[in-house]
Structure 1
Amino acid sequence: MTTTMKQPIAVTKLCNSKGIISALAIDQRGALKRMLSQYKKEVPDAAIEQFKTIVSEELTPYASAILLDPEYGLPAAKQRAQQTGLLMAYEKTGYDATTLGRLPDSLNYWSVKKLKEAGADACKFLLYYDLDESDAINDQKKAYIERIGSECLAEGLPFFLELVSYDATISDNTSKEYATVKPHKVNQMMKVFAEPRYNVAVLKVEVPVNMKFVEGFGNEVVYTQKEAAAFFKEQSQMAACPFIFLSGGVGAELFQETLRFAKAAGSTFNGVLCGRATWADGVKVFATEGEAAARQWMQTDGRKNIETLNEVLMETASSCQATTE
């Protein structure tokens, strides 16, 4: 792995004492509303804000940072633990499914300057990217990320770029069909956006395989364990800056096993930004039993999820300082 990093903005405020990013993600907006709507007929904005605040208050004492959005997350940001860093999302939620390319779009009334003024220690932007889509689409995305990278550099905020792969010709990215192309999509797009021109401080990425199709982890096999391990090793070689894993909506236990597998394969990932694997089961409790029950769940099951994940990270993740020095 290359150890020279152009981005000069330190990410120490987002790391724990070992230089590992053990961050909690709850910047979901549309997805969280859909989760709540499974149990409630109406989901007012206040309910979304309240749930985010409960998560922040109860779980940030055990996280190095929390990722929130400025639309519903500002009250939660104010209630985070004092030592916990703050990442703020800059993108609009979701994407326009009626147009080609899943083109990126930032929040209308926000800028990196405003995120910084709201207390952000870093800016996060989500980009959907199909490596094999047309240059007409991907060149637009590259230019957009260049602009955000320059904006972050000017404001002195680290730029966390979240990359989510897809294939424009495959509708289900959880399918066996997509699993066969995922390693290529994930690893090669990392190589693209790790280039210094984008000023990315940290890449937030998927693991390069669908673990449910890895030998020994699921019923169907797309990759042997040896093949899967090679893809994890290749991923580390693609990153010229620190990179962390997103949980991608999988359960806590599978995510933890994935991190152990990554370490054994030689991955040099620098931590996680973990969302639903930590707090998702608390959504039903909040929606059906109320705030007090949700807080109790966070203090028990939620805390157990994040502390167990932290233990796994200390065994598996590499320090950001070692990556950038």
Structure 2
Amino acid sequence: MSPRRFFVNSTLPAPMNTIRGLMRGSVPCVGYKRARVRTTAESRALQQLTTADGWLAIVANDQRQSLVALREQAGLPATAEELRQLKADIVAALGRDASGVLLDPEFALPALVDEGVVPRDTGILVATERSGPQAVDGLRVADVLLAPTDVRRLGGTAAKLLVYVRPDHEDAEGPNGRLVSRLAEACAAADLLLFVEVLTYRRSDEDPAEYGRRKTDLGLEAALLVESCGARVLKLESPGSEPGCRRLTEALTVPWALLSAGVDHETFKTTLQAAVAGGASGFIAGRSLWKEAALLQPPERRAFLLGEGRRRLAELLALLP
């Protein structure tokens, strides 16, 4: 399957995965069976969040609770100021090469915009959810911190919501489905593009091996559920193979980007290559690029990010044809 980049304004032929190919005016998205027409504002936001060749190449830097835990376990300070500086170092080193950065509203924003850390031509994807879901009747339910107006106020190009979904135990009328629908409606009213990150999980009473066997199918069903609730772009885990990615792409009517899930860089490169071949529109990667830096002292951290971090990002960009 040809990859899907996003070309908005170009006279060049548009590959299947590109924003220009998917969204030239009101023309249905190439390669999507039931393509959704996007608004001018959504098309512009996608243009601002993609590379010149139309790929989503976003550095994820919205971790909060997990980042605090990582540093505390290593005996390092995890104050708000420490985390703000860590996030600033990541964006300063990697933001200029990325098409966008995914940032949180608790440690990163608005400081990284106010201080001029985010490069002027780099799009900003703003995490809207509270860090860590709530447990409700055996499900993991997200809690939204920001409204679309808050995302705009923080300088955001688009909004992102993370939901943990078990499609075999919930549907569009469940708490996560209703949450996505409400936020999607609010974003549409505000002409704000909405990305939704979808993760599945093993329930406490579920056999690990059984969950492992079902994980790919659950991921597909969860993506379709969230898409039906109004998500415009999806951030998804790898289905595990190029055919699995192709199956996912063919089932969806919206583009999707691959998340790194904290795997090591070499593993993520292999996963991304299969995902792009299977129709993914790029990546939204965080820890695979910079996780070692989170445990380094500032001088060593900056050196790592400017050297190894940028090298890793360049290798990911080279996989986007």
TM-score, with structure 2 as normaliser: 0.83
For 1:167 and 1:293, locate their aligned partners in 2 and report how far apart those are by CA, in whole Å. 37
Match of 1:26 in 2: 61
For 2:151 and 2:117, locate their aligned partners in 1 and report how far apart those are by CA, in whole Å. 17
- Residue of structure 2 aligned with 1:191, choices 205, 213, 224: 224
3-state secondary structure, aligned to 2:284:
strand
Q: Do the aligned residues in 1 keep the contact of 2:167 with 2:221 (CA within 8 Å)?
A: yes
Superposition deviation, residue 171 in structure 1: 6.4
Q: Do the aligned residues in 2 keep the contact of 1:153 with 1:199 (CA within 8 Å)?
A: no
- Residue of structure 1 aligned with 2:122, choices 74, 77, 84: 84
Which 4+ runs in 1 deviate beyond 3 A? 169-172
- Residue of structure 2 aligned with 1:254, choices 245, 267, 271: 267
Distance 1:27 1:168, change over 3 A: same
Higher RCO by CA contacts (8 Å cutoff, separation 6 or greater) = 1
Q: How does 1:139-218 map to 2 (within 5 A)?
A: 139-169=174-204, 176-195=209-228, 198-209=229-240
**For residues 261-306 of structure 1, what are the alpha-carbon distances to aligned partners after superposition, in whole Å with 9 as ceiling and x for unaligned?**
2344xx1110110000000011121xxxx21221111110111111
Q: Do the aligned residues in 2 keep the contact of 1:112 with 1:155 (CA within 8 Å)?
A: yes
The code of the aligned residue for 1:281 comes to E
Q: Do the aligned residues in 2 keep the contact of 1:54 with 1:76 (CA within 8 Å)?
A: no
For 1:163 and 1:26, locate their aligned partners in 2 and report how far apart those are by CA, in whole Å. 17
The code of the aligned residue for 2:80 comes to D
Superposition deviation, residue 139 in structure 1: 1.9
Match of 1:216 in 2: none
Match of 2:250 in 1: 237
Match of 2:81 in 1: 46
For the pair 1:276 / 2:287, whether they are aligned, the reply is yes
Superposition deviation, residue 3 in structure 1: 5.6
**For residues 187-232 of structure 1, what are the alpha-carbon distances to aligned partners after superposition, in whole Å with 9 as ceiling and x for unaligned?**
112222223xx332211111113xxxxxxxxxxxxxxxxxx44322
Specify every segment of 5 or more residues in structure 2 that has no aligned partner in the other structure, as ranges.
1-31
For 1:239 and 1:25, locate their aligned partners in 2 and report how far apart those are by CA, in whole Å. 23
Distance 1:19 1:205, change over 3 A: same
For 1:242 and 1:260, locate their aligned partners in 2 and report how far apart those are by CA, in whole Å. 16
Sequence identity (%):
25
**For residues 123-160 of structure 1, what are the alpha-carbon distances to aligned partners after superposition, in whole Å with 9 as ceiling and x for unaligned?**
0000100011145x962221111110011111111000
Specify every segment of 5 or more residues in structure 1 that has no aligned partner in the other structure, as ranges.
210-227, 316-325
For the pair 1:112 / 2:148, whether they are aligned, the reply is yes
3-state secondary structure, aligned to 2:106:
coil
The code of the aligned residue for 1:269 comes to A
For 2:249 and 2:37, locate their aligned partners in 1 and report how far apart those are by CA, in whole Å. 18
3-state secondary structure, aligned to 1:62:
coil
For the pair 1:95 / 2:108, whether they are aligned, the reply is no
TM-score, with structure 1 as normaliser: 0.82
Q: Do the aligned residues in 1 keep the contact of 2:180 with 2:231 (CA within 8 Å)?
A: no
Question: Structure 1 residues 50-59 or 72-81, which shifts more?
Answer: 72-81
Superposition deviation, residue 179 in structure 1: 2.2
**For residues 103-127 of structure 1, what are the alpha-carbon distances to aligned partners after superposition, in whole Å with 9 as ceiling and x for unaligned?**
12111xx321011011000000001
Q: Do the aligned residues in 1 keep the contact of 2:134 with 2:143 (CA within 8 Å)?
A: no
| CA RMSD, Structure 1 to Structure 2 (Å) | 1.9
Match of 2:47 in 1: 12
